[in-house]
Amino acid sequence: MSETRLYIATRDLSAKGGVPEMARLVYRIAAEGGYDPCLVYNVLDRETDVMFTDLPSRGFSPELEHTEVDGMEVKAIPRVLPHLEFTQYVTNRQQWRAALADADVCFAIGGPNQCGFPYVLQNKPFAGWFATLLWDDRAGRIQSASLPRKLRDYVSRPALESIERRVFEAANFVYVLSDYTMDRITTEYEIAESKITAVPHPIDVETFSPDGPTVPKDDDELRITFVGRFNDDRKNMPMLMSAFSQVVEAVPNATLQLIGAEPDSHVTRAVRDNGLEDVVEFVDYVAHDELPAYYRTADIFVIPSLQEGLSIAGMEAMSCGLPVVSTRCGGPATYVEDGENGHLVPNDDPDALSDALVHVLTDHDHREQLSAAARETIVSRYSEAQLRSIFLDGFERLAAEVDG
C-alpha cells in the first residue's frame, strides 16, 4: 500500500521568519510518521511573477516547478498579478489544482492563514497551523510603509479578511501557536473554541541546549540579545533603544546584540538618537542551527514587540538556558512566567523594560534561577517529543475525513 500523500501549503522557504521553520518541522514529523509529504507554495520571486505586461505572452498559465529544497519535496507555483494581493491564490488556481491533484491529506502552515485558501477553493478537507491574524501581523509595520503600500493594504483589507474568515470557517480544525492567537480568532471571527487548539512550536531541546559552542564575548560584558525581523515596526526597536539607553546608564558593561538582518534607516536612527552606536551590534542572518552559540553567550533574551503570535526565538533561547524579558505582547505570555523563568512588562513602556533588564543583569543569583527554570519550562512542556503526536493525530483525523 502506498504512503498517504500529504500536502503542506505554506510560505516560500526562502522567506525570513518562523513559518518556514514550522513547515520544515511538520514535514519531518510527517515523513517520520509514515506519510509522503510535499510542500507547496507561491514563489516569492519577482523573476517568476506574472505581471500585467507578461499576460499577452504568458497568460494566466505559468508552469509550476516540481523540485527539492533542503532534501524536501516542493511544488513551487509562480504568482500571477501579485500586487493584487487578495487574488494571489485565485489567478494561479489552475496551477494549485494541478499541484494538489494527488492529495490524500491537506494541511496549511502560515503566519496568517491565507495559504489555506487553495483548499477552500477546491473544497478539500484540511486543517492548519497558524501564528496570527492578518491585520494583527500587519498593523504595526504599515505605519512606516510607503504610501502606495499603505493604500494597497487598506484597500485590500476587506477582501483579505473575508478570505481569512472563510479559511477559519472551512477548516476541519485549527492549530494556533498560542492562547493569545486563539482568543483573537474567537473574538474577531466568532469561531468556536472547540475547533481551535493552541499548539506552540516544539523546540529541539538537544540542539537548543545550554551545552555547546559559544560566540566570542568579553569576560566582563553583559549581553542582551534579540533574534528576529527587527526592521519590522511590530518589533518596536525605538522603544527598545530608549529602554537600553537607560540600561547602559545603570550597567555600563551592558551590550545589545540584534540578529537577523541589515538594519534599515529607522533602526539605525533609533540607535544614533540614543547615542548607542558603541554598544549595539548588528548581526546579519544566522543559520538556524548556528543560533544556539549566540544564545549561550548572551545573558538575557529580550522581546520588545508590540505584538507577537508566539516568538519561537524566545522559546529557543529559553531552551538554551537564557532568561527572557518580554513585553506583554501576546504569545510570549504562553511560556514566560513573570518572576519564575523570565519577566513580563507592560507593552510599549521603556521604563518598565529597562527596570526588568537591569534587575536581571545586576542580580546574578536571580539570573541563574531564571536560567534554570527557563530550560526546565521548555524541556518539560514544549519539546518535540511532547507535541509531535498532536500533528500525527491530526493527520489521521483528516485522512479519516477523506476516507469517510
HSE, CB side, 13 Å, CA atoms: give it for residue 314: 28
Q: Is residue 25 part of a domain?
A: yes
Distant-in-sequence, close-in-space partners of 193: CB < 8 Å, separation ≥ 6: 182, 186
Q: Which 3 state secondary structure label does DSSP give 300?
A: strand
Is residue 368 scored above 90 in pLDDT? yes
Greatest pairwise CA separation for the chain in angstroms: 69
Residues 367, 274, single domain; the answer is yes
Question: In the beta sheet, which residues pair with residue 5?
Answer: 36
CATH number at residue 138: 3.40.50.2000
pLDDT digit string, tens, across residues 196-210? 999 988 899 999 999
- Kindly state whether residues 20 and 132 are assigned to the same domain: yes
List alpha helices for 254-349, DSSP H.
265-273, 291-297, 312-319
Both 337 and 359 in one domain: the answer is: yes
- 134 and 269 part of one domain: no
Which grid cell is 15? 522567506
Question: Does a structural domain hold residue 392?
Answer: yes
Enclosing H/E stretch for 36? strand 36-42
How far apart are the C-alpha atoms of 222 and 299, rounded to whole Å?
A: 6
pLDDT for residue 145 is more than 70: no
| pLDDT (0 to 100) of residue 96 | 96
Q: Are 354 and 247 in contact (CB under 8 A)?
A: yes
Strands 196-198 and 5-9: unpaired
Cell numbers found for residue 108: 496549511
Nearest to 69 by CA among 125, 27, 123: 27
Whether 348 and 394 share a structural domain: no
Strand order in the sheet with 324-327: 280-283, 254-259, 222-227, 300-303, 324-327, 342-345
Q: Are 196 and 296 part of one and the same domain? A: no
For residue 60, the model assigns a pLDDT of 61
Is the residue at 77 inside a domain? yes
Please check whether residues 90 and 164 belong to one and the same domain: yes
- The average pLDDT across 187-201 equals 93
Instruction: Let me know if residue 208 belongs to a domain.
Output: no
On the question of pLDDT at 369 being above 80, the answer is yes
- Interacting residues of 252 by C-beta distance below 8 A, sequence separation 6+: none
Question: What percentage of the chain reaches a pLDDT higher than 70?
Answer: 95
Instruction: Please compute, for residue 36, the number of CA atoms within 13 A of its CA located in the half-sphere on the CB side.
Output: 8
Element (H, E) at 166: helix 147-170
Q: How many domains does the chain have?
A: 2
Least confident of 45-49, 230-234, 246-250, 300-304: 45-49
**For residue 1, what pLDDT is reported?**
34
Based on the domain organization, do 351 and 235 belong to the same domain? yes
Assess whether 88 and 50 both reside in one domain: yes
Cα–Cα distance for residue pair 343/353, rounded to 1 Å:
9
Each residue of 210-238: pLDDT tens digit?
A: 999 999 999 999 999 999 989 988 899 99
Domain region containing 175 = 5-202+383-403
Contact between 208 and 296 (Cβ < 8 Å): no
Euclidean distance between CA atoms 80 and 97, whole angstroms: 15
Pair 221, 251: CB distance under 8 Å = no
- Running DSSP on this structure, what letter comes out for residue 206? T
| 130, containing H or E segment | strand 127-130
Q: Please, what is the average pLDDT of the chain? A: 91
- Do 29 and 59 sit in the same domain of this protein? yes
In a domain, 214, yes or no: no
Instruction: Answer yes or no: are the C-beta atoms of 95 and 40 closer than 8 Å.
Output: no
46 within some domain: yes
CA within 13 Å, CB half, 283? 14
Whether 209 is in a domain gets the answer no
